[in-house]
Structure 1
Amino acid sequence: MAYKEVLRVEIQEVVRRWQAGASQRQIAEGTGLSRATVRKYLSAAVQEGIAPDGPAASEEQLSRLAGISRAGPRQVETPVEDSLAPWADQIYQWLTGDRLKVTRIQELLEARGCTVSYTSLRRFIRKRNWGRRSARTVRMADTDPGEVAEVDFGRLGMITDPATGKRRVVWALIIVLSYSRHCFVWPTHSQKLEDVIAGLEAAWAFFGGVPRYLVIDNFPAAVAGADPLHPRLTRGFLEYSQHRGFVADPARVRHPKDKPKVERSVSYVRERLFKGGDFQGLAHLRNEAQRWCLEVAGQRIHGTTRRKPLPVFQDEERHALLPWDGEPYEITHWRTAKVHPDHHVACQYALYSVPSSSCPPGQRVEIRLDSKLVRIYHRGKLVKAHQRQARGGRSTDPDDYPAELSAYTMKAPDRIKRSAALHGPAVGEFAERLFDDRHPWSKIRQGHKLIRLGDRYTPQRLDAACQRALAVDLIDVNRVERILVQALEQEAMPQLPLPIPAGRFARPGSVFALAAGGRS
């Protein structure tokens, strides 16, 4: 026969009828209890000092009488207890010190001559609270309206991309407001920072505001370092949270109870929205998800609050959210790079120059990218800004190179001419004559050598050597170098002989030409 617990009010009725003069048979018939049960409680009442003609039972006396039939597990001793008792210390050591599984402990005991079943051994361990205790749950206090929202990613399944005809995985970014339980679902193909921010921006537009705290999952686009006490957000997501005014609070890894309100929503969205549906691409799925949040999820009776989420949100929570301006957010990315020996940093498959004076090669810099600009920071200070380049592109500022390398690195005749003019007027004129050619690019190396000669032999000597070369119309850098090596630029120019005057009776050569086909 199944065990039936006697309620406190039934015990009180037994005592009341007994004091009113009813017999045990009458009390049993009137209360529906057996005579043995009535007899047991009346005997206990007498031991508690309750008399048939005395005052009514007190609260303390009734509490002690109710403890007689208190339900609980029966402590039944079995023969296995006697066989395992001598091994209790060894079992405890295996379980806590060596951290062995119960199945392995059963094998070790059997090898030592103590044969017990797995169930009996587990019961022996559980009775002494040596194993893992069952998890306890407590109900958390409800949050204020508009204070907290929880975010989680969940895999929905596969849909066909209408552009390519291929099947692709679809994820759902789910945002649940903790107070009203009103939710928003944003299907996406990836979990990059652009997709996360796009989903959150769509959620703020859907809710008409922003919550003050956002409990997020540890997806890489938002969390750079998952730590239970000091989580570290990515620079891009941290800037977004600062721009919108909410505080991001990452949940602990493998702790679904840190965000319980959204955790159960993943399977709910998958079962009620996605499975069995026919979606013509991602855009169609997003439209259907928004309609579903309003007409299905928002109008259901929530299992915990027993209220409809959408009316609660509209009446009590919408006005408590932070204002949302509706302006599109410019997504930024942060990268860390090392300055290369060529005074450039690589970012997103493009090269950008940095000033050699403040960021020499080997230094670490932080790079902030948006849709138009690339800003480079060194120790928190902005050192350079470039227009963003496409993959394989390069943005170089000649002034970022060291002064002694800028002329060489930039293959531009005009820049070489300006550098040569700084060594002297004759050097500048020599450079002008040098690049006065149909193919000035072919003279680039000679122009660089000309400037290096000024660094090696001083600008004064180079200017004198170029003046000497120009005097004889000698536009050759190698010959100018020979003048400097032999120190000929200081010698006086030799007097060239005067040209011989034309003869008085000299006749032109055409006079002696033969006419075609005969003598003249």
Structure 2
Amino acid sequence: MAYREVTMIEVKEVLRQWLSGLSRKAMVRWVGLDRNTIRRYLQVAQQCGLHAADGVDALTDEKLSEVLAALGAGPGRPHGEGWAICERHREKIAGFIKDRIRLTKARKLLLRQGIDVSYPTLHRFAISELGFGKRRLTIPVADCGPGEELQLDTGRMGLLEPGEDGKRRRFKAFIVTSVLTRHRFVYPVFTEQTADAIEACEVAWEYFGGIFRVIIPDNTKAIVNIPDPLDPVINIAFQEYSQHRGFFIDPARVRAPQDKGRIERPFAFIENNFYPGRTFADLADLNR
């Protein structure tokens, strides 16, 4: 008999959703696991003293480690050379965080000094070792109430004015929309990578005044590695980010705009009404 590997992120996500009051049907859809696997994780969690009514705060690192040990799972992703680089430059990274420099910018500053570390590794190190983001709280919400759902889409937008080389550069954008208020936030980017998605979310939280409980993303590869109506595979770095920030990911089905009906039309509105007829020199000009 073949046994599937049990990962820390997977178990943590199941327990987090269970302790948040999500139904098992929703957990099957959001986590992409079958009912039997979810049932096994929850049975072991209960044997370790966790109960659905305890709330997410009961899922401490110690309790998670206890559940993982009972399931025979490892403690998480192993630390590689990138982590060792972060350790060697701990004081410098801590200084960036103290000065409230975004991690995407911090990585660029490190690169300028010849220090090359991937964004996911830098983000994991900042969270687990330096307490990055611990003071930012999630808005307490009720079902379908304020701060409940945020829809996210990406797409190609317009062209910037010619640069020093005389060429015009096309930019993309992350567009996030509150399901309740339909307020929109647009974050222009040149690349559509996981670091860009995390940065867009961070700036969106500031714009909306808090963290939404559920993000419904389109199937951008920055967030969803493998889109599937029943078993989507979420990018592991973005999944860790969602666990740290305390929100859930509910991917839209492929080619199913009805899943995200409130964002498709705003996306067309932005394409057709905001950018045409206006000129921008760079992304900083766009953000202004």
TM-score by length of 1: 0.27
Which has the higher relative contact order, 1 or 2, with Cα contacts under 8 A spaced 6 or more apart? Answer: 2
Higher Cα radius of gyration = 1
